[in-house]
Structure 1
Amino acid sequence: MDFTLSERESYFRDRVRTFIDQNIRPRQADFDEQHHEGDRWKVIPVIEEMKDKAKKAGLWNFFMPPHSGQTHVDDSFEFEGTQLTNLEYALCAEEMGKVGWASECFNCSAPDTGNMEVLHRYGTREHKEKWLRPLMHGEIRSVFLMTEPAVASSDATNIETSIVRDGDHYVINGTKWWSSGVGDPRCKIGILMGKTNPDASRHSQQSQILVPMDTPGVTIKRMLSVYGYDHAPHGHGEVVLENVRVPVENLLLGEGRGFEIAQGRLGPGRIHHCMRTIGVAETAIEAMAKRLLTRVAFGKRIADFSVWEERIARARIDIEMTRLLCLKAADMMDRAGNKSAQQEIAMIKVQAPLMALSILDDAIQAHGGGGVSGDFRLAHDWAAMRTLRFADGPDEVHNRAIARNEFGKYAEYKADRVSSGDLAATR
């Protein structure tokens, strides 16, 4: 088994790392100042400046998939992006994850990445001209409207928002929340999942439709906090849709095909989060090690207490194991397709946030009272990583899929066939 990176994998990873080190990281103070002054929901100038630099450097839209010839409508290469493989992108995304605002500088931040892939795969030429082009140019932002406050949205068949045909329009009614990105003033388009036919089979009731955010009846009721953070200017909102009318041509792919689209969107989106999470964990172990080496307690460096040696060692081991699983999942997606990699995607989606949270928790402990303050980024990162145990499906859903796959290997063992002798034989 060869773990050597290819020339192309190293090339893009190193270019992203160098760009971040030379351009983004030195501007952290500017970002912090602009982020905290004035209106919370705004465009941050230093990000726009970095976007322009990254675009000119050819470091842009990395996530767009290689052309497969299997898109649903007539396509052109002008909407193809850089076309990195999942494995190549994983290495770049880890570097982006080390600085909280870096992903947007490369036009690689959620939910735009997933929404652009949906438009690329399932949108018409008109959809692409109107929405995908400005998204790919980094001129507008978008939102994915799926989760609802009134139902357990981990089971998407529970989604109740109605999409009813009325002549040349669909009329939408419902409430969505955790609508990430809706607080950005550039958020112009939403992709909404709702029911077009409540009487159809369970997985054929839902559809996805494009909703311009300035459509009458769309109201941002409130912005939600995450452990006290508002995550401005990106943010997560509760959105109410009352008799929202959009043209029938805004429907994606066809009625009843919402789950098909969701599976095409969420697979890559899940692993993109995990890639960045490894970068977050790397910054946490770095902060923890530096703190332990520079603080003295009870007459010696805190780093010299064995409990901290054990925690640092465990953190490094966990990062390396998680990275290998993430790269394995990405490689399987490239070689065998997203469906074949479902098990690996589920495993990394559970493992990566848990790993990062454990390391961040230790790093916070190493920083004492400062760790829970705003003086360091650790508390903010912990809150962000904690949300990933819900995002794109909670741990319980992924664990269920993993367990069912494992049980499936031993399907011949059925309860009605197990006798005391069988049980004794398996001990």
Structure 2
Amino acid sequence: MTPESRFRLIPMRPRDPGESGRAASTLELFFDLVFVVAVSIAAVSLHHALTEGHVLDGILNYAIVFFGIWWAWMNFTWFATSFDTDDWLYRVLTIVQMGGVLVLASGIEPAFQDHDFSVLILAYVVMRLALVAQWLRASRSAGSARKATLIYAGGIALVQALWLLSLLLPESAFTVALVVLILAEVAVPIVAERTGSTPWHPHHITERYGLFTLIVLGESLLASANAIIGALHASHDLGPLISIAALTLISTAALWWIYFWPPHHLAIGSLSRSLAYGYGHYFIFAAAGALSAGIEVEIDVLTHHSELRQPWASFAYTIPIAVFVLGIWALAIRPHAGRIVNIVLPAAGVFVFIDPLIPVPFALTTVILAGVVAVLVWRRPLGQDERTH
């Protein structure tokens, strides 16, 4: 018997990228639950910052915090598509990462209010070191991908040591270190994959990205529900708040429709295309998470609880929508759409962006998105009878 079988461990060999019927596991779905908490707290913190008029500071803090959330989720997802064994050690290390996410979530508020990133960084390092252990384990049976797994393990471990050292820096130097370390994080997969590629399953990866999209869009539905709850407690604002709730539901449904229109698995191919798809989703996910904050800001304006005033408050929801639409068009729709769709989508993104400057209320954004959906119903992705139109 091998040491692996004696301890009831399965050799962590590379998964078959052409494996049929590959789908998200129950552990992956369980893992996603902790990110619901983290995304929600990040969105709430952004909402409070915007409502109090701390626009630039709030956006920068949100971008940094969301990077930690997104990067932890994405690294686990790409590792799982290559080496998921679902044995007891794999599960335990995954649960350790989940605990790190929950602690990270508790550090989001201090990061926004006091620029104190210590709890957030310590939790982040715990998550990343658990993944280092996974990469080291994978290196034992990785075959041709062994060099890549060792670069992942060594690169991630080195960056985590630098994160810990950054806590000792003064605030002015810490800001510079923050940017440098984020760039170092995103550089590790590029170096590793160029040295010895790990296998990824296109359908599995894009399913996982779709599931995370549903999580962040769900935050907007929560904002819609909050509008209804607010309306029930403020009868003089009943009409506008109910309208915001309905329009938010329609807009969120339209974003869901747009996201799932193209064949995402075709965007995962070469290393450059896969990196563009994976990294580009930071902006899509962050925008979808920020949309709920924008809706909450709009509700605060209607109930006279916001320092922001129109039309500037409306940019809090139109910018996230525009980034989401333009991002998914660039990453997944553009290569698989005909001329009409490739004109309508970017134009819609631009018009949504400038909507607050047009003397028409929130409903205009909803009308634009509904029009995009109508076009997508009319025009199919290339390969699905689009070439005949």
**TM-score of the alignment, normalized to the shorter chain, above 0.5:** no
Q: Which has the larger Rg?
A: 1
Structure with bigger strand share is 1
User: Would you tell me which structure has more helix in proportion to its own residues?
Assistant: 2
Give the TM-score, by structure 1 length.
0.37
Whose relative contact order is higher, 1 or 2, with alpha carbons under 8 Å and at least 6 apart?
A: 2
TM-score normalised according to structure 2 size: 0.39
